[in-house]
Structure 1
């Protein structure tokens, strides 16, 4: 039982790190992707539109999904790795 608790904790830490890494990556992608670079209002708008295939709504959908997906993948991977030892 103690081993399983350690795996759950490790998975939670992995999920948090995956979400943080995904968020940092998304912020960098938004600031670099658009026709106006940076994190000003124009930079964010153009970055989201570039990521979303021409629409800000598409860019928002992609940038919200990326950190959540990384959190699940990294968290589950760490959990499974911890359980295998």
Structure 2
């Protein structure tokens, strides 16, 4: 959970109030960018796929591209945390 907060906080500091170019450069090469590209518009590639994916993810919660970047950055860390908690509960640790 701490890693998720740190990841989201770092990304938020880099993208809040930034232009699309700032958001793209702050998230380039990250797992969040790859996740956003998967959610991107069909038929797009590269930066267009990542930008539309971030906008789609952010739009799902009433935000925009910056919100999508924060959510996409936090998603991998959140998934690992949920998985770890599930395994611990499974084995009663």
> What is the TM-score normalised by the length of structure 2?
0.48
What is the CA distance between 1:52 and its match in structure 2?
0.8
Question: Unaligned 5+ residue runs, structure 1?
Answer: 1-22
Question: Unaligned 5+ residue runs, structure 2?
Answer: 1-30
Name the structure, 1 or 2, with higher relative contact order (CA <8 Å, separation 6+). 1
Q: CA RMSD in A?
A: 2.8
1:46 aligns with 2:52: yes
Higher helix share: 1
Larger radius of gyration: 1
Residues 35 and 81 of structure 1: CA distance in aligned 2, closer, same or farther (over 3 Å): closer
Residues 43 and 56 of structure 1: CA distance in aligned 2, closer, same or farther (over 3 Å): same
> What is the TM-score normalised by the length of structure 1?
0.52
Q: Number of matched residues? A: 60
Partner of residue 81 from structure 1, selected from 67, 71, 90: 90
1:55 aligns with 2:61: no
